[in-house]
Structure 1
Amino acid sequence: DMDASQKADLLSFVRDDGKGFIGIHSAAITFTGWPDYGQMLGGYFDGHPWGQFNAPLVVEDAKFPGMNNFTTTFTLFDEIYQIKDFSRQNVRVLLSLDADKIDLSRKSVKRTDKDFAVIWARNYGKGRVLYNGLGHVQAVWERSDFQKMWLEIVQWSIGLIPGDATPRSKPQK
């Protein structure tokens, strides 16, 4: 765990110093008792109703770094988290679950808005934050499209390449 000074330093590193922060998969279940971390990240883990499954995914912003490595829609075997304390008013969703192709009748599905973001980016003060919920399953890391995505995401997070992290509404089908 981090003490109060370390927590303040992390937030300041991103928000005030303009640095990048990337959260990978379980980053959404980290520091659950620290609201400022969840606010910086953009949300917290709220279960994984489907476990590991063939997740139907939709690229919402193919212009954002890393997202053009995927087709507009694709299926990926992985574990996908449901996120709480998440709002599109605060983040730009880059990749999401296709809610029309998943079982929403499971008791553990809590989001009534059918908005299941998987990857998002946001500006946090002067800094850049990106959360990527993929990567629980080892095979995901071995995919060349996933590896290329990571290279571009890291470049974006440290300011080497541009990418619009302005929040926006869920696209209409």
Structure 2
Amino acid sequence: MPVTTLVHTRTADYRHDSIPGAVGALRALGFDVRRTEDPAEFERALDARPEVVVFLSTSGDVLTPAGRERLAAYVDVGGGFVGVHAAACTEYGWPYYGGLLAARFDRHPAYQPGRVRVTDHDHPATQHLPHRWEFTDEWYDFRSDPREDPTVRVLAYADESSYEGATMGGDHPLVWCRDPAPPGPGRMFYTALGHATEAYSDPAFRAHLAGAIHWAARRT
């Protein structure tokens, strides 16, 4: 059976043109995708207990107070959450969400080629990747280091020497996960990659997303 995947793509701030292609890629990968941009529909879909919730380049405040309560309850009883790219630009006013992701977006330089340093290959989202992965993206900087939370496991870093405009000082987490994601037993995965439509036709990036979702669903 395919992984039941609730994909939320609502944007209240910047909207990525890559969202339709990203949703199409998840469907092409064989996931049972229910996509929503309506807060009330998102709440109803959570009641159906999907295996994974994906915030796919969401931005701004995308949930109602009731939606926040339901998402927190979902994760706190063991649900899987995957944040992709601008998911870190979401729900700045909700402390629980910031704690779930363990870092929030700050800024990014121009979209440009760069290099990802994969340091942990013992995860389904990175096991297929080279140690040095050439990629093109926005290379997000974050307001804090996610490793300040001891439950965070960093899988990959941005090589700041490979592009212009980095500000995090060389040690730059880019992909990470948490198992569990306190205060409950849920799993959280975040990747800062995925700005452009072209990323979602890249086999390596597709496998990155597929590994993340299968892991969050405990299907690996």
The equivalent position to 1:95 in structure 2, one of 156, 172, 177, is 156
> Counterpart of 1:72 in structure 2: which amino acid?
H
**By how many angstroms is 1:101 displaced?**
3.5
* 2:82 match: secondary structure: strand
- Alignment size in residue pairs: 154
Q: Is the Cα contact below 8 Å between 1:44 and 1:86 reproduced in 2?
A: no
- Stretches (4+) displaced over 6 A: none
**By how many angstroms is 1:126 displaced?**
0.3
> Counterpart of 2:83 in structure 1: which amino acid?
G
CA RMSD, 1 decimal? 1.7
* 2:208 match: secondary structure: helix
Distance between the aligned counterparts of 1:120 and 1:77, measured in 2? 19
Distance between the aligned counterparts of 1:33 and 1:83, measured in 2? 16
Partner of 2:105: 45
Q: Is the Cα contact below 8 Å between 2:137 and 2:193 reproduced in 1?
A: yes
Q: Deviation per CA, 1:84-140: give whole Å up to 9, x if none.
A: 13331421111111134444xx5x72x34x322111101212000011111101111
Q: Is the Cα contact below 8 Å between 1:58 and 1:74 reproduced in 2?
A: yes
Partner of 2:213: 154
Partner of 2:84: 24
Q: Deviation per CA, 1:26-47: give whole Å up to 9, x if none.
A: 1000111112101101111100
Q: Is the Cα contact below 8 Å between 1:66 and 1:152 reproduced in 2?
A: yes
Partner of 2:199: 140
* 1:120 match: secondary structure: strand
Q: Is the Cα contact below 8 Å between 2:112 and 2:163 reproduced in 1?
A: no
* 2:93 match: secondary structure: coil
* 2:92 match: secondary structure: coil
Aligned 1:53-92 pairs, distance under 5 A: 53-90=112-149, 91-92=152-153
Q: Which moved more, 1:121-130 or 1:1-10?
A: 1-10
Distance between the aligned counterparts of 1:95 and 1:138, measured in 2? 21
Q: Is the Cα contact below 8 Å between 2:85 and 2:193 reproduced in 1?
A: yes
Q: Is the Cα contact below 8 Å between 1:23 and 1:132 reproduced in 2?
A: yes
Where do 5+ consecutive residues of structure 2 fail to align? 1-61
* 1:63 match: secondary structure: coil
**1:118 and 2:174 correspond:** yes
**1:9 and 2:70 correspond:** yes
> Counterpart of 2:66 in structure 1: which amino acid?
S
> Counterpart of 1:79 in structure 2: which amino acid?
E
Partner of 1:166: none
Higher relative contact order, structure no. (Cα contacts within 8 Å, ≥ 6 residues apart): 1
Q: What percentage of residue pairs aligned between the two structures are identical?
A: 28
